[in-house]
Structure 1
Amino acid sequence: MAAGGEARIIRIDDPDDPRILEFHAIRERDLTGRQNRFIAEGTVVLRMLAAANAGGGGFVAEKILLLENRVAGLQAELASFPADVPVYVASSTVLDAIAGFHLHRGVLALGYRSHQPHAAELLETLPDTALVVCAAGISNHDNIGSIFRNAAAFGADAVLLDETCCDPLYRKALRVSVGAVLKVPYARGGSIEANLAALVQRGFDVWALSPSGKTEMGSLSAAPRMALVTGTEGSGLPAAILDRFNTARIAQAPGLDSLNAATATGIALYLLASAQGRLQTDGTAGS
């Protein structure tokens, strides 16, 4: 499937065909894990996987599975994958039997993350002016996906997830992120304390987001290297983190104790990105 060429199509008539085994019973496999493999679902995420595959950032496309009536409209996307990535096609009945539920999007791909950097390794690749999102204890896949979407929208250079955060390559998180998980460099692992220490060591101004934060987000002054730390719903960030680092809050109307973690992160990222001058009036973002 070289660029500009015809997609290589392989017809699947048996839901138990071993060539598409990785797509079988998708929801159950979401729960058990795929050993660094992931399912990309939908046209937008398929495009992001193609870009990530071509970009050499550690994401590799292995195979594609499509509903038969989606093939004609996806020729441009399919042509952007390497020629050795097989494209399997099935009827709606067979595809639903493979997935284990009705798959109305009809677009799936199997990807593999070949390299998973540690936080310190990732931070060494960042420019002198950088914006990083650091998350702790985010176990909700919708929130993880939304945080990555916010990070991409506001030009963040990286996301650091501690070991208690859920996997952003989980199918739902990847879908909610509209593929941003494949675009924004990230590392997952270690404790929140270790990740923040790595940031401090590399000259980042660390700001912990909390409803009780001492400084209002809109009044922060820009620094060349800034890191925003967000915690889980309810309990938020550990007291030891709030005591050690600068804390910031988002002003809001009375009557509600806090914002959703992903929503708060998005607002705070917008303010930090604006303070660093990385947002463009034409709608583009960059560092």
Structure 2
Amino acid sequence: MRELIRIHEADDPRIAEFRSIRERDLTGRDSRFIAEGTVVLRMLIGAHCAGGDFAAEKLLLLENRVEGLAALLQELPGEVPVYVASQPVLDAIAGFHLHRGVLALGHRRRNPAPAQLIESLPAKALVVAAFGISNHDNVGAIFRNAAAFGADAVLLDETCCDPLYRKALRVSVGAVLAVPYFRAGSTAEILTTLAGAGFSIWGLSPAGAVEIREVPAADRMVLITGTEGEGLSPEVLARVNTARIAQAPGLDSLNAATATGIALYGMAMAQGRL
């Protein structure tokens, strides 16, 4: 049976990384992050056990969640400590009422360079690239869309927010831990690398030249999405093919994540992935 370590005080140094997580997220600190909820924990443990890019360092659970997680905890390597606490202690640690009662501290074991990740993609590949996405919900939803439609990677420029932020991870339902990605470099650098790797590059715009259902299939395709407000810049649109999503009269834009999901579905269908 799995050994559980009881935490009685919120200031116990063994769980210091979980303290006040709403104000003190671990994103950006040596590639460490906080995973919250059963679904994200399952993805983290799966990546850990498969030798993937992510690993679990420790878990902190509400005492009455342990029984329901017993099977999942058996998959976790024995060297990863599992701490348990009562609801009052857990809430004092987190700094708010943590009704899910499931937290994990993880870290990214490998962080491939942009050129390295693009070079590793298969001959027939579908990629999502996002530039300037600052909303954590949108970043998480873009990863969820990418996983749902079988994308091979997500490419984020250096101005995008970190997908390992706790809320982005939660919105992605753990897809951030499953879909290969990088967050680095400028928009121009990423586009140049993709073009050099033979990708057909399509940028979303309300004024796109082609309706998304008419985008021709290619072995290597990339869909690019711009900022929530202004979208892709004129300079970017001038470098790529452009596509639009047909909408009712009087509207000309969609939420960045919603538009990405619709367009990605169309491109996945064109490639015969679905």
- Normalising by the smaller structure, the TM-score range is over 0.9
Alignment of 1:214-233 (within 5 A): 214-233=209-228
Residues 76, 51 of structure 1: alpha-carbon distance in 2 compared, 3 angstrom cutoff? same
Root-mean-square deviation (Å): 1.0
1:127 paired to 2:97: no
Alignment of 1:260-271 (within 5 A): 260-271=255-266
CA shift, 1:39, in A, is 0.6
Q: Secondary structure at the match of 1:96?
A: helix
Alignment of 1:144-223 (within 5 A): 144-223=139-218
TM-score (norm 2): 0.98
For 1:61, the aligned partner's letter is: A
Tell me the distance in 2 between the aligned counterparts of 1:278 and 1:92.
45
Q: Percent identity?
A: 70
Which deviations, in whole Å up to 9, do the C-alpha atoms of 1:238-258 show, x marking residues without a partner? 111101110000001012220
Alignment of 1:54-69 (within 5 A): 54-69=49-64
For 2:241, the aligned partner's letter is: N
Alignment match, 1:117? 112
Tell me the distance in 1 between the aligned counterparts of 2:15 and 2:214.
53
CA shift, 1:33, in A, is 4.3
Tell me the distance in 1 between the aligned counterparts of 2:49 and 2:221.
29
Query: Structure 1 residues 127-136 or 248-257, which shifts more?
Result: 248-257
1:244 paired to 2:239: yes
TM-score (norm 1): 0.94
Q: What count of residue pairs does the alignment treat as equivalent? A: 274
Tell me the distance in 2 between the aligned counterparts of 1:32 and 1:80.
26
1:94 paired to 2:92: no
For 1:274, the aligned partner's letter is: M
Alignment match, 1:77? 72
Tell me the distance in 2 between the aligned counterparts of 1:202 and 1:230.
19
Unaligned residue ranges in structure 1 (runs of 5+): 1-5, 280-287
Q: Secondary structure at the match of 2:190?
A: helix
Query: Structure 1 residues 146-155 or 236-245, which shifts more?
Result: 236-245
Alignment match, 1:143? 138
